[in-house]
Amino acid sequence: MTVRTDTQGSVTAVYKVSGMSCGHCEGAVSGEISELPGVASVKAVATSGEVTVVSAAPLDEEAVRAAVDEAGFELVGRA
């Protein structure tokens, strides 16, 4: 599990998502997760299947799972 609390009070978490294969996939996943309350930034990388999320506080994993599901992909868990 990768979760890091940064000095500015933000939290960085890395998730594994299956099924992403292109930039459109990255955009769909990033767009859905970025709508979650407290999310400051999202970076999805299709080639590694990793999604890095910076937020004000730790996110509820079920909320992240629902956002990824809404984008049409599957949250495997934290990287």
Look-up of token digits 């299709």: 46
Instruction: Determine the pLDDT at residue 1.
Output: 42
Which amino acid is it at 53? V
Q: What whole-number distance in Å separates Cα of residue 71 and Cα of residue 18?
A: 12
State the pLDDT at residue 31.
98
pLDDT tens per residue, range 28-41: 999 999 999 999 99
* pLDDT tier for residue 5 given thresholds of 50, 70 and 90: low
Helical packing angle, 61-70 and 23-34, nearest 10°: 130
pLDDT of residue 9: 74
- What is the percent of the chain where pLDDT is above 70? 90
CATH 3.30.70.100 is the classification of domain 19-78: yes
Rg, Å, the chain Cα set:
11
Residue range 7-33: average pLDDT?
A: 93
pTM (2 d.p.): 0.88
